[in-house]
Structure 1
């Protein structure tokens, strides 16, 4: 019997990763197919695939938006898709993988042992895709953002300016969150973008480039550019610098880190840094001086992006944009994005209550789970519903999230924590206008739920 392997990974490692794995496992069980799924989520790598299992597998399914070390699958048939595709169409992916022709036998080192050695030797194969490189950096950065942001929010429990008094717990929490975690945010983003492109040789120049972006004031935008610059410089050097065989070991630990760090650093200081700082300062000043009309329009756009693909590229773009602004003390977009991201799962839960005749028993049960996911700011709770009826569900939730985002910006709501959902509202001073914030979420939820109740077709009675 053909054996399949799969890897699932999303940028945050929270919902998509495990929903995709469960979807593949469930479908494979129904079809009687042997499959093992490696998840690369927020808690780390689970069910890691061994070299022997890779060599024995007929094909590999990669459902990921971040780096999954796919060089280890060199020579094997691979089906590669975004992580959301494994949730929406697991059966199609499994069938496609089964239909892949078996890998050609090796002319030397044939057999299982030879395939294992080949997988080890080619584990460092180059990976492609700018979006995946960016999401690898974002994925590594997010734990720092969330931990640092929540610690900053907790410092406000003692008063909005209590951290200014030296020696207090509030000051310590602020120092940990903003003075340490947030200071590492941009370097880690840049370092892991470069790592995704060039592997270990890209890490040092990426980290240094990101730190310089922070010091210059180029912010998260400068960090992204530094990461890509460092990664591609290091990758070019890996491919083009030739050394005697007995000195090859110096390339990844001395030659490339030294030269790539120097090139990246000099480019950031003399060429890239100042123009990007100018752009970031302009963006920050524009956001801080937004009039009501422009603020509403920005909230409308960010809110719609959060619901459009529920954890996909547009969703992550809006979230990353808002998170990056936290370091510049711009807190309005973060509030709009989190509120808009909570709305879709909450709306679907409410719709299953007010229009029961339009949802199956299974969907009504899923609605209960979606309510909890929505409160926790996990937009992916809406995916099962959107996958089943995209042309009615997606426009409905976009409308509600857009309304929520627009209202949040209209009321000039600010949020100092980058995650936590409704539970952040319990932290004093984390949100400046709690009542208006809650109202924005409720109104957007009602808009989407009512649209769903109208647009969804009643279930057909069973014959």
Structure 2
């Protein structure tokens, strides 16, 4: 059979491509043909109209909803998460085969044209899933701005020191022969990029909820959140508010003569007006007060409190290796970057260090004690080194999928240790991604590496001990009258 598939995870960095590779390998093993569109952070190459037309069935392996899903209208469809595709791609293709046999694909004439923009949320999902997908859609669009702005600001500090943020505007004073001028330029470009974070977050949360007409109300609501001091939290609320307002307005029946201007004029106008009034007059100031309290609390974290927060965030990052709990911790860290506080930079450093620990620890364990791991796990250890160094926690998934009861507790303990140590030593980081490749931009880099090394050692020893314990139990001689139960 011939299939087409779309894979998409919230960040579009690792799960997206791992799911695509798993589907391609499963199709090859079964003698089927598949074409996969990866809607990742690097963009995507859309499936051709011919591939879609001739496909027997469609597989959607996505956590944030599929862009332009109207292209597949009428096709037999199977929907799953990216983790399901990674763990059981063959099963998904079997479902697609069964669906194709019971629901034949429509004629080519029935296929519709490619739309411009479509909702980012899977239709029919529960309210909890929808809320998570709305928020993750916003975060997925924010990450490139944070990466570009944060790295440029960090680079400017590396070139010109922390006082470079006080340099005069480069439009008034810029010397091409001066390193400090280039540092100031990088700082001001990065700062400009960072100013988009909250509006982009709000705009694309609203887009996920109510499509294109909600983008303008969402962006404006996010900009107002910045104006009134409501920050990242205000952006979340503004995006949800704008999406809800526009979604409600779309339910109003209007004469056909007016329907044509609703998406481009009426909905953005009314949505922006209502969202703006509510943000300025009603909810902006209370959210700003809450944001001020959160910032004060973060800045007041020291000693044991900071270590406990680092341990909690580290454990969350490792627990589901790129899943919803991981994204909550990561989003909290990225959101803190908008406050610019020293503690927020320490939280970002702790989260990234904890996210690197699981793949590195499992790669180390599979290298030093090869006999405890299966051939497939030993093969997974090779890319896990690079994935871990790149802050791609999903590199631990192959190990956790084959032995979750031993692997997951082991990596949670190690990542918690790394997060706690990183916060304790006061390591800082402005870049939201990059792993060890942004080490020159880390404050307290040597102690930061020590924190990672300790967490890697803890997780590696824990998983080796757990696997040895299981193997020993399975190998114990069986006394007469008893039965052996494999570990």
Q: Same fold (TM over 0.5)?
A: yes
SS in 2 for 1:240: coil
Q: Does the C-alpha gap of structure 1 residues 360 and 104 become closer, same or farther in structure 2, counting only changes over 3 Å?
A: closer
Q: Does the C-alpha gap of structure 1 residues 122 and 292 become closer, same or farther in structure 2, counting only changes over 3 Å?
A: closer
Task: Verify the 8 A CA contact 2:156 2:183 in the aligned structure 1.
Answer: yes
Q: Does the C-alpha gap of structure 1 residues 125 and 119 become closer, same or farther in structure 2, counting only changes over 3 Å?
A: farther
Matches for 1:186-197 after TM superposition, within 5 Å = 186-197=198-209
TM-score (norm 2): 0.87
C-alpha separation between the residues in 2 aligned to 1:204 and 1:382? 39
C-alpha separation between the residues in 2 aligned to 1:152 and 1:103? 56
1:301 aligned residue: 312
User: Is 2:423 the counterpart of 1:409?
Assistant: yes
C-alpha separation between the residues in 2 aligned to 1:431 and 1:254? 47
User: Is 2:234 the counterpart of 1:222?
Assistant: yes
1:197-239 deviations in whole A, cap 9, x for unaligned?
1111111111111111111111111111111111121122222
Task: Verify the 8 A CA contact 2:203 2:218 in the aligned structure 1.
Answer: yes
Cα shift at 1:126: 7.5
Cα shift at 1:413: 2.2
2:261 aligned residue: 250
Q: Which has the higher contact order (CA 8 A, sep 6+)?
A: 1
SS in 1 for 2:414: helix
Cα shift at 1:189: 1.0
Cα shift at 1:300: 0.9
**Residue 381 of structure 2 is aligned with which of 342, 364, 367?**
367
C-alpha separation between the residues in 2 aligned to 1:417 and 1:118? 40
1:165 aligned residue: 167
1:49 aligned residue: 47
User: Is 2:62 the counterpart of 1:64?
Assistant: yes
1:384 aligned residue: 398
SS in 2 for 1:234: helix
1:84 aligned residue: 83
TM-score (norm 1): 0.91
Task: Verify the 8 A CA contact 1:20 1:87 in the aligned structure 2.
Answer: yes
C-alpha separation between the residues in 2 aligned to 1:327 and 1:116? 44
1:95 aligned residue: 94
User: Is 2:290 the counterpart of 1:279?
Assistant: yes
Cα shift at 1:365: 3.1
C-alpha separation between the residues in 2 aligned to 1:322 and 1:220? 11
**Residue 111 of structure 2 is aligned with which of 108, 116, 126?**
116
1:12 aligned residue: 11
C-alpha separation between the residues in 2 aligned to 1:124 and 1:169? 41
Cα shift at 1:102: 5.5
C-alpha separation between the residues in 2 aligned to 1:416 and 1:145? 9
C-alpha separation between the residues in 2 aligned to 1:218 and 1:32? 55
**Which sections of structure 2, spanning at least 5 residues, go unmatched?**
124-129, 174-180, 476-487
C-alpha separation between the residues in 2 aligned to 1:321 and 1:58? 42
Task: Verify the 8 A CA contact 1:163 1:172 in the aligned structure 2.
Answer: no
C-alpha separation between the residues in 1 aligned to 2:122 and 2:258? 25
Matches for 1:108-187 after TM superposition, within 5 Å = 111-113=107-109, 115-117=110-112, 127-128=122-123, 129-157=130-158, 158-166=160-168, 167=173, 168-178=181-191, 180-187=192-199
**Which sections of structure 1, spanning at least 5 residues, go unmatched?**
none
Cα shift at 1:269: 0.8
Task: Verify the 8 A CA contact 1:52 1:116 in the aligned structure 2.
Answer: no
C-alpha separation between the residues in 1 aligned to 2:198 and 2:120? 26
1:205 aligned residue: 217
C-alpha separation between the residues in 2 aligned to 1:209 and 1:99? 46
C-alpha separation between the residues in 1 aligned to 2:97 and 2:108? 20
User: Is 2:464 the counterpart of 1:453?
Assistant: yes
Cα shift at 1:171: 1.8
1:39 aligned residue: 38
